[in-house]
Structure 1
């Protein structure tokens, strides 16, 4: 799904109005109606009180439409017009008149009674157009909403959030009902505290415009994941499903290589060989009998040599940064043309020797966590600069950069895909090793590198989303990701079958 900036979203609105022969007010009515219908499905109990905070711009106009429709449907709606939100827009003023005509007054300072958990605050103060810091009047309203203890739902954007720069204060939304497109700002680490859940409402913007306009940013929604998924052919056997090589491990850190190897096989590839130091041989052969093993060195890898051509190689997990290991990595990079996934210690070694990037095969996949990413691309001022640096680094070096975070970013060929699956259960040791194994296993099955990265990250997060429902976020471990990969695949197959 495409992610557009505020300028393109306004163009989409204008194009829709022109091509569909409607007014901006009618488009506002359409947007407000979609919010109302969503609320009606979510809160069928007419005892629910909706307290709607409206700015004086078009986002506030959307809120007024919602208030009117709730009132007409016999819900209790209370409306506050927030001062300090600018000059009223024409469509806001029109909808304020309609609200008055239907008998619903604003800013009544009404003290209302409601049952526990039957109060919803609707935030319609600012939308995508906010370009200045909010004043004291608005700040007081935002803080009131955030401290209310009520269920908080924002219309289109949490008020106070900027679309193109760092946000310091915004409404902390339980749910954001955003129109037509996801917004880049929603998925940046610094904004996670403002949004718990996102729902994208289709308001019928012009499909031709959406399809023809280019963008640097995309969300990996279900349709995108399904398009990149490759089911196992009915005639497949282990020789046709690809052979993955996992290189890693050292004394005390064999678990990392073991997790990656297990994840590679569970992703669907036919064969897995683990290249490990000798101290890990008994561990691997005991804990993972499905894998083959090659060994080198006693406590760390000192030389990398094998006599077969793997379909894909994942390396670095628990490998350490011993000087002999670093030299072995360099020699491998100089001669290896199999698709590569580079993680952990191998990433850190490369970050200290950036000239080695020249030895990477085209579309090599790098999977750094935030600190590894900083070592690789340098520091950034805010999340927006981080995204731009990720995109530029991937393009400049002709690689695929999987920047792991609360929402993982996958950058390649001047575009960035944002992954929406996953949760804080993944904040546990070894989850990144599992991701490297999954992506390597998909590469071994002949997934194109970009597909392996995008689908692999999606699958990894989906397994966590399914798994935490059984075992909780607190008790979730990296091994659980591997266990729930099967259920993640079954979920995807069931969704595809329903189309």
Structure 2
């Protein structure tokens, strides 16, 4: 299993050598991100992930959220197309059509029911093409832990927290998060980003060391998942997107710390630092 000594540390120099694609042309050239999530009481998670995807470089944004929140979200994020989801977890034809056409699907932010999430995930990823990039977060990871066959796309990034990693592993991940990330990457044939430890299946591993305590705030993980999605949309490979996102997420927090302290900033404020952080690497 991977140890800390086998991980490459993510630094600005490493990222500059691994430069992000910089597409020319219109918004179509920077890809379409579809974010699916946002239960009745938590639509803000989709907002955070979606706007973070745009700040990371995605060209077009589409949001699928609980029907009760769709109108309000369309006003809050005028850059996005917003469609409503029924309360039973089924995906309407319009959402399936969006999934079929999307370049990247981020699934999970703000969902709060495993059975509904499983049905939604099966419909959305079933409609998506094999080449569609996928980011799974939050309850989508819980659904994956119960049915690994839900994910068939190979361009996938999983962004678990420690609890979600435990569900996926079937045990406590313990202190060796590098090994846990590697095990999950190999098991699900996907890139895994776990608390600064990034692993790709059967391949390389990295470690991001800039993250601080302030990132442990409500909505922060939604922002990170959105950054990954936006970088994938502009053409990054999954491991590249995960490494860049981990660094950008961490450094966005560090940029906010002088104003708000180590633990005083909000996830929505992280979003506003994403583009500038990418630009200054």
- CA drift of 1:422 comes to 2.2
Is 1:430 the counterpart of 2:224? The answer is no
Number of aligned residue pairs: 273
1:94 matched residue in structure 2: none
Instruction: Quote the offset at 1:268 in angstroms.
Output: 1.1
For normalisation by structure 2, the TM-score amounts to: 0.89
SS in structure 2 opposite 1:305?
Answer: helix
Give the TM-score of the pair, scaled to structure 1.
Answer: 0.52
Q: Any unmatched runs of 5+ in structure 1?
A: 6-163, 165-183, 185-214, 493-499
Paired position in structure 1 for 2:108: 316
Report if aligned partners of 1:300, 1:322 keep a CA contact under 8 Å in 2: no
**Matching residue within 188, 198, 202 for 1:397:** 188
**1:410 paired to 2:198:** yes
Cα-to-partner distance string for 1:276-299 (whole Å, 9 max, x where unaligned): 1211112211211111112221x4
Give the conservation status (yes or no) of the 8 Å contact 2:49–2:223: yes
Q: How does 1:67-466 map to 2 (within 5 A)?
A: 184=4, 216-230=6-20, 232-233=22-23, 235-297=24-86, 299=87, 301-303=89-91, 304-307=95-98, 309-321=101-113, 323-336=115-128, 337=130, 338-354=132-148, 356=149, 359-380=151-172, 382-384=174-176, 386-404=177-195, 408-412=196-200, 413-466=202-255
Q: Which structure would you say has the larger Rg?
A: 1
- Kindly indicate whether the alpha-carbon contact (under 8 Å) linking 2:133 and 2:232 is maintained by their aligned counterparts in 1: yes
Superposed displacement of residue 314, structure 1: 0.4
Listed as ranges, the gaps of 5+ residues in structure 2 are none
In the TM superposition, what whole-angstrom CA distance separates every residue of 1:337-365 from its partner, at most 9, and x where no partner exists?
211000001111111223x25x4211411
CA contact (8 A) 1:268 1:442 kept: yes
Q: State the alpha-carbon separation in 2 of the partners of residues 432 and 302 from structure 1.
A: 25
Name whichever structure is richer in helix by fraction.
2
Structure 1 residues 369 and 271: alpha-carbon distance in aligned structure 2, compared to 1, 3 A threshold: same
- How large is the RMSD of aligned CA atoms in angstroms? 2.1
1:380 CA drift (Å): 4.5
